[in-house]
Structure 1
Amino acid sequence: MKQPSDHDTDYMACAGCFCLASRQAARKITRLYDSYMQGSGVRVTQFTILSQLMLRGEMPIGKLAGLLGMERTTLSRNLTLLEGKNWISISAGEDPRARMIAITAQGRGLVRRGFPYWSKAQAHIGKLLGADGQAALKLLSSRNLG
């Protein structure tokens, strides 16, 4: 199959890349949440991990990574920081290779203190997205796109 030449290819199509747009939007949304969360003493990424542990209970790191849609290595770096602040505990599971993650009492207190800040950020983002944007975001996050 003949490769198209640069003269035949419209690279300007890349300017509308959905991947780029979604990554830019995700970073902007995270920064907005973090600006609201400043007074709580926790970043939104940390709050998300802690709140999911508070809601769902102790679980293996792999399950938590899947639930959060994060790579295990990225999650491990975050968990090391949270453990250092005594907001979570990490222990061996029944299978010694599996590490179990649980929120501590201190972590639960942080979620309780951070919740009002998160709620304000959530409302702000919800208004920016509108009903259609919220529905699209929920649909994309729940779908297996592969």
Structure 2
Amino acid sequence: MTPEPDLRACFGFRTRRAMRALTRHYERHLAPTGLKPTQFSVLAALRLRKHRDLTHLAELLGLERTSLLRALATLAAAGLLAPDNALTRQGEARFAAALPLWQAAQDAVAAELGEQAQAITILEQLGERLGRPARA
């Protein structure tokens, strides 16, 4: 007889649950601005202008390129992005309104996690190690 998996000990299960909770947490905080967490991240990344192209931007954000393109189209349709993907005045205003709400969400998560730098390091290492292509 094959033993049943213990979902309580499953990293994938626990991570998905945590991710859903974190997403809902950020959605609640950003709700007054009408931005979703991914849209906020896209606007923040576009403001930095540290990407070479959209493929690189998608990689920086941890998004599939098609997901990024959908997010850009939604932001542009809302008048937040110009055709060159620069933030419009309306986009800058929406981002400015969202920033303190995002910071409040960040602060609440940091308070729950304790040592923020350690938690970020663990998440980065996990993403880098598990994100590598499998070796043949």
SS of the residue 1:89 aligns to: coil
TM-align CA RMSD: 2.1
Higher-Rg member (1/2): 1
The count of aligned residue pairs is 129
Identity %: 33
Partner of 1:128: 112
Say which structure, 1 or 2, has more relative contact order (CA 8 Å, 6+ apart).
1
Partner of 1:104: 88
The 1:57/1:44 distance shift into structure 2, 3 A limit, reads same
Partner of 1:49: 42
SS of the residue 1:10 aligns to: coil
Equivalent AA in structure 1 for residue 62 of structure 2: G
Of the structure 1 ranges 21-30 and 117-126, higher mean CA displacement relative to structure 2 is found in 21-30
Equivalent AA in structure 2 for residue 140 of structure 1: L
Residues 27-47 of structure 1, C-alpha deviations (whole Å, 9 max, x = no match): 110100111112223222211
TM (norm. structure 2) is 0.81
Equivalent AA in structure 1 for residue 99 of structure 2: F
Of the structure 1 ranges 56-65 and 31-40, higher mean CA displacement relative to structure 2 is found in 56-65
Structure 2: gaps of 5 or more residues: none
**C-alpha distance in 2, partners of 1:134/1:127?**
13
Of the structure 1 ranges 126-135 and 61-70, higher mean CA displacement relative to structure 2 is found in 126-135
Residues 75-131 of structure 1, C-alpha deviations (whole Å, 9 max, x = no match): 22211111101212344xxxxxxxxx3322321221111111111000001111221
Of the structure 1 ranges 40-49 and 50-59, higher mean CA displacement relative to structure 2 is found in 50-59
8 Å Cα contact 1:58/1:103 also seen in 2: no
TM (norm. structure 1) is 0.76
SS of the residue 1:39 aligns to: helix
